[in-house]
Amino acid sequence: MGLGTFIKSLCALGFVLPLGQCIPATKLVDKRAALDTWITSENAIALSGVLANIGFTGAKSYGAASGIVLASPSKTNPDYFYTWTRDSALVFKALVDQFINTKDGNLQLQIDDYIAAQAKLQTVSNPSGSLSNGAGLAEPKFMPDGTAFTGDWGRPQRDGPALRATALIAYGRWLLANGYSSTATNFVWPLVNNDLQYVAQYWNQTGFDLWEEVNGSSFFTTAVQHRALVEGSAFAASVGKSCPNCDSQAPQTLCFLQRYWSGSYVISNINTNNGRSGKDANSLLGSIHTFDPNARCDDITFQPCSPRMLANHKVVTDSFRSIYGVNSGIAAGSAAAVGRYPEDVYYNGNPWYLCTLSAAEQLYSALYQFNKIGSIDITSTSLAFWKAIYPSAATGTYTSSSSTFTALTSALKSYADGYVAIIQKYTPSTGALAEQFDKSSGAPLSAVDLTWSYASFLTMNSARNNVVPTSWGAATANTVPGSCLASSATGSYSAAPAPSFPVFPCTTASTVSVTFNVLVNTSPGQNIFVVGSIPSMGTWDTSKAVPLSASMYTSNAPVWYGSVNLGAGTSFSYKFIRKNSDGSVVWESDPNRSWTVPNSCRTAARLVDTWR
């Protein structure tokens, strides 16, 4: 049988294949688990989905260098088989926070790999420039092997250096708090310093937004730049350094940030004439990625619970209610599917998993802030938001001891859960998260296994569970200067040393997900399997061989791959076989291959072979 028929048969039997091959073409109609139960299950899938797309151990990242984050394994329609500085930083900020919370040694090894990879990438000359004047740090994407991408693209993109600094600072603070000050100072700080110097020098110049479409000034970019400068200054002091450029430019960045507020919502892109309304999930993402658990509901830094951002949440999410069929019949004040912006035409304009998740995450973060502060202030700015979810809401201050506070926070929690329930509804039974879901049918669309989608699920779940990141200093960085200047500070840049990490304590993995990759040219109707000497690999019985997937197969890299969970320390022999459409089996030539699963903290490993 052909590959398509073969995959469908495996899907029917319940096999979970790589790249979301079992994603259904229509809405699921089976009964789904209660939301809490589903979130717990999906969170594990999301973490696995992230790790599958990273570096030399990822199950779906064949061709990626160590520490490199692929945006998606998708190579055609669309081709996302690259690494983006922005996406990678957001993903690793999520993983750093996961590591700090769980102390998972495997995650720490991934973080160390990421730091080493970024030390190399900062030095790669590219179409945006080089490290000598910092311009090359704003190059949006690179090849999977860490070399420059030289094709046409929307460049520069100025959010990447700020986001990378934030991710590295989070890890650097952990290193300092746990006795690894030399690692933080000698290896993390030089990387962070380059990025901070870039932000201070170039923050006031236009560039492409996070959707890579608009060349102007982006709310998301300015917000994360301000955060990076503030926490960068504090981190510098903690490692015995200073960042005077951070100190001089952070207030001016904050001043510029106020220009995005229209009086009723955030205009996400300014200094451009793109004909859009400015209503954009860009602003939701900006708020959640500058959330500070120690801040109050501050309009100036656009905190999730601020009147401005609650009002903006309503305006942005309401803009999608009438344009998506999947939102038909959903009442105002109930959660709806959220896309990038209402004028979107990419793939005909659809909801995105990460945008809908960001709508939920902002509300969970706001709920945390309200509970910590112990009161809710409903102002004329936020009143419409509150009345939509709690019709009897009125302006005023409601303390945590009041019944109104209880009713408001209950309504807010239910509203946030509604957005996650939409994700549940349109996530296939495999748990695979693509980039988008169809605005009419709800079927997954565009790039499969989008790393950013999976990371967004992780951060949403953390916010829902009140597992919050460390403060970045928003509470003391919210004073707008009396005079706002179009300023900058010229930076000084130097290559960071290749990092050398100490041997961190960790728990040796008992089970390792081993991914087999074999390069072999095949024809339609031929399928590749791996069979071996142990029961989990069929004990040399070809009828029990492990099927491999050709979903990443190209003429230049004819790779078949699949994963098997094996006990650490297991030794075995194996071979690849080809099954033809007539049922015949062809073995690769002798000798048998042999391997022993490593005993280490890593929970994944990858073998790369060529058919003999």
pLDDT one-digit tens code per residue, 329-353: 999 899 999 999 999 999 999 999 9
The answer to the question of whether 153 is labelled as a binding residue is: yes
Quick one: fold of 46-476?
A: Glycosyltransferase (1.50.10)
Find the DSSP H helices in 178-306.
Answer: 181-183, 189-202, 219-238, 244-257, 281-288
Buried/exposed 27-63: b ≥16 CB within 10 Å, e otherwise: eeeeeeeeeeebbeebbebbbebbbbbbbbbbbbbbb
Q: How far is CA 101 from the centre of its chain?
A: 18
pLDDT at 11 over 70: no
Q: Please name which of 124, 143, 172 lies closest in space to residue 82, comparing C-alpha atoms.
A: 143
434, 439, 440, 445: CA torsion to nearest 10 = -20
* Strand partners of residue 84: 141
User: How far apart, in whole angstroms, are the C-alpha atoms of residue 291 and residue 471?
Assistant: 8
Which pair of structure tokens corresponds to residue 495? 């290559």
Q: Specify the amino acid at residue 371.
A: N
Residue that is written with structure tokens 């504090």 in the block = 234
Question: What is the average pLDDT across 324-330?
Answer: 97
Q: Specify the amino acid at residue 319.
A: S
H or E segment and range at residue 417: helix 403-425
User: How far apart, in whole angstroms, are the C-alpha atoms of residue 387 and residue 394?
Assistant: 8
Which pair of structure tokens corresponds to residue 1? 């049988």
pLDDT one-digit tens code per residue, 220-254: 999 999 999 999 999 999 999 999 999 999 999 99
pLDDT one-digit tens code per residue, 448-469: 999 999 999 999 999 999 999 9
Among 3.40.50.300, 3.20.20.70, 3.30.70.3270, 2.60.40.10, name the CATH number for the domain at 3-7+512-610. Answer: 2.60.40.10
Q: Please name which of 165, 97, 108, 170 lies closest in space to residue 134, comparing C-alpha atoms.
A: 165
Q: Please calculate the CA angle 521-525-527 and round it to the nearest 5 degrees.
A: 60
pLDDT computed for residue 6 by the predictor: 38
User: How far apart, in whole angstroms, are the C-alpha atoms of residue 521 and residue 553?
Assistant: 9
pLDDT one-digit tens code per residue, 590-606: 999 999 999 999 999 99
pLDDT computed for residue 28 by the predictor: 37
Decide: helix, strand or coil at residue 166: helix
Decide: helix, strand or coil at residue 174: helix
Q: Please name which of 47, 63, 248 lies closest in space to residue 146, comparing C-alpha atoms.
A: 63
Q: Specify the amino acid at residue 144.
A: P
- Domain residues of the chain, as ranges? 3-7+512-610, 46-476
Phi, psi (degrees; rounded to nearest 5) at 439: -70, -15
**Residue 76: burial class (beta carbons within 10 Å; 0-12, 13-18, 19+):** exposed
119, 125, 130, 132: CA torsion to nearest 10 = 70
197 CB neighbour count, 10 Å cutoff = 24
pLDDT at 14 over 60: no
Q: Please name which of 211, 206, 219 lies closest in space to residue 272, comparing C-alpha atoms.
A: 206
With 0.75 as the threshold, say if the pTM is over it.
yes
Confidence of residue 273 (pLDDT cuts 50, 70, 90): confident
Q: Please name which of 200, 272, 243 lies closest in space to residue 487, comparing C-alpha atoms.
A: 200
Residue that is written with structure tokens 């990025």 in the block = 195
Distances in whole angstroms, Cα of residue 144 to Cα of each of 116, 138, 228, 515, 545: 15, 17, 26, 18, 30
H or E segment and range at residue 51: helix 35-52
Q: Which residues are catalytic?
A: 209, 212
User: How far apart, in whole angstroms, are the C-alpha atoms of residue 301 and residue 25?
Assistant: 42
User: How far apart, in whole angstroms, are the C-alpha atoms of residue 516 and residue 531?
Assistant: 11
Q: Which residues lie below 8 Å from residue 381, measured CB to CB, with a gap of 6+? A: 264, 299, 307, 308, 310, 311
CB 166 within 8 A of CB 231: yes
- How many residues are there in the chain? 612
Q: Which residues lie below 8 Å from residue 410, measured CB to CB, with a gap of 6+? A: none
Which pair of structure tokens corresponds to residue 87? 């996406």
Say how many CA atoms lie within 13 Å of 418 toward its Cβ. 19
pLDDT one-digit tens code per residue, 352-395: 999 999 999 999 999 999 999 999 999 999 999 999 999 999 99
136 CB neighbour count, 10 Å cutoff = 22
User: How far apart, in whole angstroms, are the C-alpha atoms of residue 135 and residue 232?
Assistant: 19
Residue 67: left if φ>0, alpha if ψ -120 to 50, beta else—which one? left
Q: Specify the amino acid at residue 133.
A: N
Question: What is the average pLDDT across 412-432?
Answer: 97
Cα radius of gyration (the chain): 25
Question: What is the DSSP code string of 324-341?
Answer: -GGGTTPPTTS----BS-
User: How far apart, in whole angstroms, are the C-alpha atoms of residue 449 and residue 119?
Assistant: 27
Q: What share of the chain is helix, strand, coil (3-state, %, to 5)?
A: 40, 15, 45
pLDDT at 8 over 60: no
Q: Which residues lie below 8 Å from residue 232, measured CB to CB, with a gap of 6+? A: 165, 169, 192, 195, 196, 199, 243, 246
User: How far apart, in whole angstroms, are the C-alpha atoms of residue 54 and residue 121?
Assistant: 15
pLDDT computed for residue 32 by the predictor: 52
pLDDT computed for residue 275 by the predictor: 87
Q: Please name which of 75, 80, 187, 57 lies closest in space to residue 552, comparing C-alpha atoms.
A: 75
Mean confidence (pLDDT) of the chain:
94
User: How far apart, in whole angstroms, are the C-alpha atoms of residue 556 and residue 476?
Assistant: 54
- Min mean pLDDT across 108-112, 272-276, 510-514 is at 272-276
Specify the pairing of strand 571-579 against strand 585-587.
Answer: antiparallel
